[in-house]
């Protein structure tokens, strides 16, 4: 009960600020917030993915990752995919120099580099796409729609699974997740997306078109949640951090969002 109280209290404190930044804040302020989230998330990611290593994560790897977070997200303010690919190329160049400099002293150097590249694609590149969405026509409302669908998915899966769950979804990855919870999360997220469209876009056709979009976003969110759970299980870690009381770490809070953002961006570009 206390865990649920902390969860809702944290949300009640953070949601007004988040909405203000999305709706009233400039694109630069929004990107700065996303950059901060990205840095916290990749810090936790590196701790999880390297939890079984005998040596701590090198400062060079952390610094390159943090810089990539800032530059990728801020680069998205320009609204150009070419900039993002150029930044990814620079990240690769920096890692190549790191390999050459540390090749003889770090035996698992290429494994470390591979994990860093996965982290950059997984976290800041995905979050940079969120800035591209914010830059679209009506982008602020679409960002809120995406967040509502994702968080309704998480909350619905949690409570439906808690009270109605009987059949395990992926017991070897996350023993507490159930098929009933997953289905409940999908239904609630699609419903929330549909209602939001009717209220704020006043377009029944758009609301109907967004039903499959919300469903795909919710499925991607659940896959992202399980992916992070798999990483934590390999690293023997329960929560990615403690920065958000009741939620765990930053990565725990946005794990589903990270895969949902590219899915929604595809729909926004080619369908909506």
Cα–Cα separations (whole angstroms), residue 243 to 40, 80, 225: 9, 32, 18
Query: For position 198, what pLDDT does the model report?
Result: 94
Asked if pLDDT for residue 102 goes beyond 80, the answer is: no
Q: What is this structure's pTM?
A: 0.91
Report d(CA 157, CA 182) in Å as an integer: 5
Asked if pLDDT for residue 3 goes beyond 80, the answer is: no
The Cβ of residue 71 has, within 10 Å, a number of other Cβ atoms equal to 20
Choice among 4-18, 31-45, 64-78, 161-175 with the minimum mean pLDDT: 4-18
- The residue-averaged pLDDT of 174-199 equals 94
pLDDT tens digits, 210-228: 999 999 999 999 999 999 9
Q: State the average pLDDT for the chain.
A: 89
Report d(CA 130, CA 149) in Å as an integer: 14
Query: For position 208, what pLDDT does the model report?
Result: 95
Cα–Cα separations (whole angstroms), residue 226 to 82, 122, 125, 204: 31, 14, 20, 33
- The residue-averaged pLDDT of 97-117 equals 81
pLDDT tens digits, 136-175: 989 999 999 999 999 999 989 988 988 888 889 988 898 8
What percent of the chain lies above the pLDDT cut of 90? 56
pLDDT tens digits, 39-48: 999 999 999 9
Structure tokens at 93: 């160049």
Higher pLDDT, 267 or 5: 267
- The residue-averaged pLDDT of 120-136 equals 94
- The residue-averaged pLDDT of 249-260 equals 92
Residue 6 binned pLDDT confidence (cut-offs 50, 70, 90): low
Query: For position 80, what pLDDT does the model report?
Result: 73
pLDDT tens digits, 22-40: 999 999 999 999 999 999 9
Structure tokens at 242: 């403690």
Query: For position 110, what pLDDT does the model report?
Result: 85
pLDDT tens digits, 227-240: 999 999 888 888 77
């Amino acid at each position: 009960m206390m865990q649920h109280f902390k969860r809702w209290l944290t949300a009640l404190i953070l949601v007004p600020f988040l909405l203000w930044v999305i709706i009233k804040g400039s694109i630069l302020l929004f990107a700065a917030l996303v950059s901060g989230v990205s840095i916290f998330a990749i810090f936790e990611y590196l701790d999880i993915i390297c939890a079984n290593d005998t040596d701590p994560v090198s400062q060079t790897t952390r610094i390159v990752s943090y810089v990539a977070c800032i530059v990728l997200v801020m680069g998205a303010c320009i609204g150009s995919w070419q900039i993002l690919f150029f930044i990814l190329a620079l990240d690769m160049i920096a890692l190549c120099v790191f390999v050459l400099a540390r090749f003889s002293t770090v035996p698992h150097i290429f494994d470390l580099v591979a994990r860093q590249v996965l982290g950059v694609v997984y976290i800041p590149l995905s979050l940079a796409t969120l800035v591209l969405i914010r830059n679209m026509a009506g982008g602020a409302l679409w960002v809120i729609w995406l967040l509502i669908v994702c968080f309704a998915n998480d909350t619905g899966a949690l409570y439906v699974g808690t009270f109605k769950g009987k059949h395990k979804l992926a017991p070897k990855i996350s023993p507490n997740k159930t098929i009933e919870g997953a289905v409940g999360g999908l239904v609630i997220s699609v419903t929330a997306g549909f209602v939001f469209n009717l209220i704020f876009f006043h377009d029944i056709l758009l609301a109907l078109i967004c039903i499959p979009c919300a469903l795909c976003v919710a499925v991607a969110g659940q896959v992202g949640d399980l992916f992070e759970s798999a990483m934590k299980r390999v690293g023997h870690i329960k929560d990615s951090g403690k920065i958000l009381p009741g939620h765990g770490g930053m990565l725990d809070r946005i794990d589903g969002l990270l895969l949902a953002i590219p899915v929604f961006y595809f729909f926004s570009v080619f369908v909506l």
